[in-house]
A and B are shown apart, each in its own frame.
Chain A
């Protein structure tokens, strides 16, 4: 008791005040009172688990662009500060991370690098808050195609399922004509993206090459380690062709396991998500002649600006960019231009700037190598979509054919009308 009594309340208050004053003087004003001038961008993405590499590739792409912006003086001395957080691919966690960005970090914009399920959750958060949001990963068409889901402050910089489906179907139709492929099967992951991809691909294929027969559909669950039951079904049905939207490690496992059955000797595989460096380099003995869309490869589009992008990224990080990287790069590029042109971070001005904006890009195939953020649905068009066949070594793809954006736009309209979204 004596030792406690020796420190009177007055003495404790004095000492505490002195320490607080010393800390304050030493560090200037408390951080909360400092004028925080940076432009803050919140990035919810997946940094753990099976697709962590993709989230990291988003972070790399964004950092590459913002480092350039900051080192060139920023916006009148204001730098861009990226705040990247892991959602663990969970929609509720992505929504929570987003709310924190808005309420606690007071971000100026959100670059949403989440898969489809979580992107819908993020969309609802930004609809409420009015925060500017750039979706750079989700490919589910509905996110921007369904007018009831759209919001004035959200833009899509990622591929869209219906665009890829039309591009894929048109390419498949040429191979059907060439090789007489009649009997089809499909293997797609059993969740929103897989079902969307299956529906839109066969819907579009019917337009280009009617009269094919679907022998069966396999729906493995996401991250399933063993595909035997699907592969035995394929081996039994002996289709001429298989369409799959499996991706990442799941696609690698499927191809490795199917190769044991000799499936690819007589059956053409159309794997929309194969041609990404991380996936192709992981397949054991990548079979020659598999068909894939060009997710991201340095060989396509076959332009200097694309090769330069690949080189800059590879020099910095020792690895090739991914499909998620280019989408994030194009998104941040638009945002930086908008910040510069509008002279600040007013979300309404930036949204107005982006709507209908055509911009030169390494992934652009529009006039003068441009991509465009379409005015009516605030989604990217005229980005590179190509299909080709695999070869076992770098550059991994050859015989690449470009998709035709006029055809894509035409069939997209028809699809939107069918859905009642136009």
Chain B
């Protein structure tokens, strides 16, 4: 453990800024994916292990649109919307059949979907990894130097986009009728049905929104690296850690937990480069011991 390196980093403006900016970018990308996962769990009570596969689909869809149109913005938006629509079909055809089923049945269904989608993308797009969609031309400029810390402008864009998404999610969930119905569905769906609300529509809408967020995360990730079958498997573990730390079902909790994980990875790489994954799990264990419902979860 290089604790002195961490101390040196914290007192150096260049290191502090670059690691903080890096941590923020890691956290915000993670938030896009984890927020969808926590939303689906909070409202529908489904642990959607196939969420990572939806993230992968977002990357592939955006790659396809980019290949056809060459337009970055369109590729990202279509990638996210495409996965949203796929999520709607997934929910209507499969997920709604297991809402009240045993947890093992839900996991089995999701795992089957992961295997099918992983193979399906290889059949459609080939088994070789694909070059990502790249960074839009406007951001292909030299990085910014702030107190000698290097910050790529595209990373700032990713953080801003994610912040806007977080704000919109908060507005939707707290200020709109749909948000109120979603929260009511999470608390007492039977009462809502008795009042004449079609909760199936609400549930499908929530799953669609969760899928959209996974797709958006995947599409943005495709701009920063290669696109490959199975790429969702690594992000799903981190997303679950975020969900557990933040509190199952809490979007605010997912936001805070994502930043914590981003910072843990960024500063952990300075202090304990061989234990960055371990730090994430350690934080999760600490939260589970001290506040089992998560940082912003509700006690049941």
A residues apposed to B, CB below 8 Å = 48-50, 52-53, 56, 190, 216-219, 221, 223-233, 235-236, 248-250, 252-254, 256-257, 260-262, 278, 281-285
Contacts and interface: CB of A to CB of B under 8 A. Distances in A.
Interface string B267-299: 011100110110000000000000000000000
Contacts of A248: 129
Contacts of A226: 26, 29, 221, 224-225
A50 B135 contact: no
Contacts of A282: 128-131, 226
A228 B234 contact: no
15 contacts: A50-B129, A50-B229, A53-B128, A190-B274, A216-B273, A223-B230, A229-B19, A231-B22, A233-B269, A236-B149, A248-B129, A250-B226, A253-B226, A256-B226, A285-B134
B143 A261 contact: yes
A235 B273 contact: no
A250 to B, nearest CB: 8
B129 to A, nearest CB: 4
A278 B130 CA distance: 9
A48 B118 contact: yes
Contacts of A257: 224-225
Contacts of B126: 53
A223 B233 CA distance: 9
B214 to A, nearest CB: 13
Contacts of B142: 262
Contacts of A283: 131
A236 B21 CA distance: 12
Given A235-B150, A249-B228, A261-B150, 7 more contacts: A48-B119, A223-B234, A229-B26, A252-B131, A253-B225, A256-B224, A284-B132
A246 to B, nearest CB: 11
Contact of B230 (A49, A53, A228, A230): A49
Interface in B192-224: 221, 224
B73 to A, nearest CB: 17
B18 A219 contact: no
Contacts of B270: 233
A257 B14 CA distance: 19
Interface residues of B, number: 50
A174 B90 CA distance: 57
Contacts of B152: 260-261
9 A-B pairs with least C-beta separation: A253-B225, A229-B269, A249-B129, A249-B226, A260-B152, A232-B22, A53-B128, A52-B127, A282-B131
B247 to A, nearest CB: 24
Contacts of B19: 229, 232, 236
A225 B128 contact: no
A217 B269 CA distance: 9
Given A223-B231, A236-B18, A282-B226, A256 B132 contact: yes
A358 B226 CA distance: 40
B154 A260 contact: yes
B200 to A, nearest CB: 34
A216 B130 CA distance: 30
Contacts of B268: 229
B140 to A, nearest CB: 9
B226 A252 contact: yes
- The residue among B15, B228, B235 with the most chain A CB atoms within 10 A of its own CB is B228
A315 B291 CA distance: 62
Contacts of A229: 19, 22-23, 26, 265-266, 268-269, 276
B25 interface: yes
B51 interface: no
Contacts of B127: 52-53, 56
